Structure 1
Amino acid sequence: MAEPLKNLLHPGLVKDMARHVLRVSPGFDADRFTQLATENMDALELMQRAERIKDAFTQTLPADYAAAAGILRNALPQANTPGLSGWALLPVNQFVSEHGLGHFDLSLALLKALTPHFTAEFGIRRFIHAEQERALAEISGWVADTNHHVRRLASEGTRPRLPWAMRLPALVKDPAPILPILIALLDDPEDYVRRSVANSLNDIAKDHPALVADFVEAHIEGASTERRQLLRHASRTLLKKGDAKALANFGFAAAKEIGADLTLATPVVTFGDKLGFSLTVRNEDKAPQRLMIDYAIHHMKANGTLAPKVFKWRQLDLPAGGSQTIGKDHAIRAITTRRYYPGTHRVEILINGAIAASADFELRMD
């Protein structure tokens, strides 16, 4: 069974955090910090644990924010000295976000310094929300930083709908202020950064589909393989929904005269096994067609309703009168982001965004 996410923050890590802070601040009450941070920790989920550790910092670091920020910065890893890194920096993000607005520039500098050792995408969002123009003026300069973690922070931290983080309603409503950041990073040499750009554009597409479809059209002509992959990933929500312009951007049109026969190899699936199915696609039109084939699993929820999750599958180029059969095994196993329930589920085939075939299967839980 997968390790619970909450265990990314654990008592052993808290003790290491106390040791790193004590190294740079001999007056730090490491024992009290550890006691406060780990109290009843086992009953808390991940973000609650981070909040608890953040509160422990609030009670044990200097009340003067500038002094506290200086200690936290000095406790980051140095050239040959380990320090606060990884998930230990999630509560540091929260500390800076909660206490640092009155020291705007100092806080952004600290978040920029810590992001190579974890990420500061959670910490900078309150600054963007509070003073968007001021924050983006600073963050925009990070697109040219030599450190790819900092460049990624410029795109990831400004995502309108960043998972696990506060939403940025002003950017949800009008994402135009962050488009120059995304354009500057379209051809970043690091895939890590380019995927962040794609995710930000995909966020925007959920509220402004036409804007993203137009953006892709404007930047796809003559694009490198890497940029084309970025733009395709940025368009994934639009493509799954069959958005006509998004499909056209990648050479797809509404499918015409397509036959689709779906066959389940495993109409009954035991949890932990795989759902097997095959699809025979026939182009019954008089012209060749490019087909984007996805599938959706409609998972049963606790209340008995079904909720779909779309998965990418295959791209086919079929001549007039041509056909092809493809197969898929989809694992039904424990993951941290979904709870499964027994009963009737459904698999649905999407061809160029339109439903082409479907079949029900039974899920049994041992």
Structure 2
Amino acid sequence: MAEPLKEMFNKAAVDWLAGRLGSAWPDFPAAKFKRAILADLPALELIARVDRIALEMQATLPADFRKAVRIVTKALGAPPPAGDGTDFGSFRVLPCHRFVAQAGLDHTDHALAYFKDTTRHFSGEFDIRPFLVRDQARVLGVMRDWADDKDWRVRRLASEGARPRLPWGLRLQALVADPAPLLPILEALRDDPIEAVRRSVANSLNDIAKDHPDLAVEILGAWRSDSSRAPLIRHALRHLVKQGHGGALHLMGVDQAAKFQLRDLALGKTRIAIGGSLPIDLALRNAGKRAAMAIIDYAVHHLGARGELRPKVFKWKQVELAPGETIALSRKHSLKPVTTRRYYPGAHKLDIRVNGRILGEADFILTAK
């Protein structure tokens, strides 16, 4: 069994941080710091551990934030090489970012300088967000300058840190309501040479699409003039495609008048224990007179704690079918527990969606054992 994520912040991580802070500031009370945290750590989950370490940093570092943030920056040392855009750094740095978010809100300039330097150790997208809530125009102005930085990790922070609906992050309600101030950053980064940065731009636009679908389609339609942006556009449209949004489907090259028939839908099991997998088989036919694109998704309607069914849409396949052509597809959907979803025994449902339209559904029972 894999080690729980919370164990990223264990005794070894606390020892490492205490050693780094002690090397940067000889007066740092390392023993007291470790003793206080380790007494509480076993009972805490992942985020609570991060917050607990950050709180103890506030208790042991100088009360003068400007001095404290210099110590933390020095403790982290020189950042690792930028690499190819696939390494986002060490999770062990996260409590340092959380400390700055909690203790530095009244010192925006010093905090932003810290994030620019240290996002190269570990991405600071979660903890820069309270500063955006406090002073959006000022912080977005600085982040627009970051979009021109030579280090891709700083450029990515400019986009990812300002995502309106960053998963697990503080929601930026002002940008949810009006994403216009974010658009100059996305425009600057849409053709970035690093895929991780371009993907962040796509994620930001996917966030925008949830609240302003027509605006997202308008922006991406204008960007389509450059064919190299096709992967970004496809990733940015994933929510709208799942919803069957006409404008999004048009950008994806889908003929909404195309006729598809679900010739068969079969579940390999109708009773599955939590932790098992659900075999799915289908046959899809193009019943029209022209070749047509089919974006095939499926939704699992999970049973909630109050007995309600909540659909979660999953991507399956994108394929072009000739007139009269039938394609057979098979896959297994995992029902293993994950940190972002809790399973409840009872009646569940699965449906098949082609170009955003539900063509068929089937029921199954999820059991405790």
TM class by smaller structure: over 0.9
Q: Which amino acid aligns with 2:351?
A: E
Structure 2 distance, partners of 1:255, 1:313, is: 21
**Identical counterparts, % of pairs:** 45
1:309/1:2 CA distance change after superposition, 3 Å:
farther
Instruction: Render the CA deviation track for 1:81-140: whole Å, top value 9, x for unaligned.
Output: xxxx72232222222122223322111011111101111112211221111111111111
The correspondence of residues 95-114 of structure 1 with structure 2, limited to 5 A, is 95-114=99-118
Asked if structure 2 preserves the Cα contact closer than 8 Å seen for 1:4 and 1:336, the reply is no
In 2, Cα distance between the equivalents of 1:37 and 1:255? 62
Length-normalised TM-score, structure 1: 0.94
Aligned to 2:132: 128
Q: Per-residue deviation at 1:349?
A: 0.2
Deviation per residue, 1:49-70 (Å, 9 max, x gap): 1111111011100111111011
1:158-183 CA deviation, whole Å, 9 max, x = no partner? Answer: 11111222211111111111111111
Is 1:209 the counterpart of 2:216 in the alignment? Answer: no
315, 335, 338: which is aligned to 1:335? 338
Q: CA RMSD in A?
A: 1.6
CA deviations 1:270-327 (Å, max 9, x no partner) are: 3333211211112222333211110111122222222111111112222222222211
- Residue 138 of structure 1 is aligned with which of 133, 142, 147? 142
Counterpart in the other structure of 1:47: 47
Match of 2:84 in 1: none
Residues of 1 paired with 2:42 and 2:366: CA distance?
Answer: 32
Residue by residue over 1:241-283, the C-alpha shift from the partner in whole angstroms, topping out at 9 and shown as x without a partner, is: 0000000001013254321021122222233332112111122
Shift of 1:79: 6.9
- 1:1-366 aligned at under 5 Å gives the runs 1-78=1-78, 86-224=90-228, 227-260=229-262, 261-366=264-369
CA distance in 1, matches of 2:350, 2:77: 48
Q: Do 2:279 and 2:331's aligned partners in 1 also have CA atoms closer than 8 Å? A: yes
Q: 3-state SS of the aligned residue for 2:226?
A: coil
- State the alpha-carbon separation in 1 of the partners of residues 275 and 107 from structure 2: 51
Q: Gaps (5+ residues) in structure 1? A: none
2:175 corresponds to which letter in structure 1? L
Q: Unaligned regions of 5+ residues in structure 2, if any?
A: 81-88
Secondary structure at the counterpart of residue 118 of structure 2? helix
Native 8 Å contact 1:36 1:53 kept in 2:
no
Following the alignment from structure 1 to structure 2, what is the Cα–Cα distance between the partners of residues 189 and 91? Answer: 30
Secondary structure at the aligned position of 2:306 is classed as coil
The separation in 1 between residues aligned to 2:69 and 2:259, in whole angstroms, is: 64
2:196 and 2:4 map into 1 onto residues whose CA distance is 25
Distance 2:3 2:212 in 1: 37
- Whole-angstrom CA distance in 2 between matches of 1:325 and 1:296: 18
> Following TM superposition, by how much is the alpha carbon of 1:350 offset from its aligned partner in structure 2, in angstroms?
0.2
- Cα distance in 2, alignment partners of residues 337 and 122 from structure 1: 17
Q: Secondary structure at 1:297's aligned position in 2?
A: strand
Question: Structure 1 residue 38: deviation in Å?
Answer: 2.3
**Which SS does the other structure have where 1:280 is aligned?**
strand
Distance 1:75 1:44 in 2: 25
Residues in 2 aligned to 1:193 and 1:256: alpha-carbon distance in whole angstroms: 35
SS of 2:192's partner is: coil
Q: Per-residue deviation at 1:26?
A: 0.6
Tell me: CA distance 1:164–1:324, structure 2 relative to 1, closer, same or farther (3 Å).
closer
8 Å Cα contact 1:275-1:330 kept in structure 2: yes
Alpha-carbon distance between aligned partners in 2 of 1:316 and 1:50, rounded to the nearest angstrom: 44
Question: Matches of 2:260 and 2:127 in 1, distance apart?
Answer: 49
Q: Could you tell me how far apart the structure 2 residues matched to 1:136 and 1:35 are?
A: 39
Q: Distance in 1 between matches of 2:37 and 2:280?
A: 49
CA distance in 1, matches of 2:56, 2:247: 51
Measured after TM superposition, the shift of residue 2 of structure 1 is: 4.0
Q: Report how far residue 223 of structure 1 moved.
A: 2.1
* C-alpha separation in 2, matches of 1:194 and 1:19: 37
CA distance in 2, matches of 1:100, 1:336: 30
Q: Which stretch has the larger CA shift, 336-345 or 253-262?
A: 253-262
Q: Matched residues in 1 for 2:296 and 2:257: separation?
A: 11
SS of 2:290's equivalent? coil
The question of whether the paired residues in 1 share the 8 Å contact of 2:79 and 2:118 is answered with no
How many angstroms apart in 2 are the aligned matches of 1:167 and 1:328?
Answer: 34
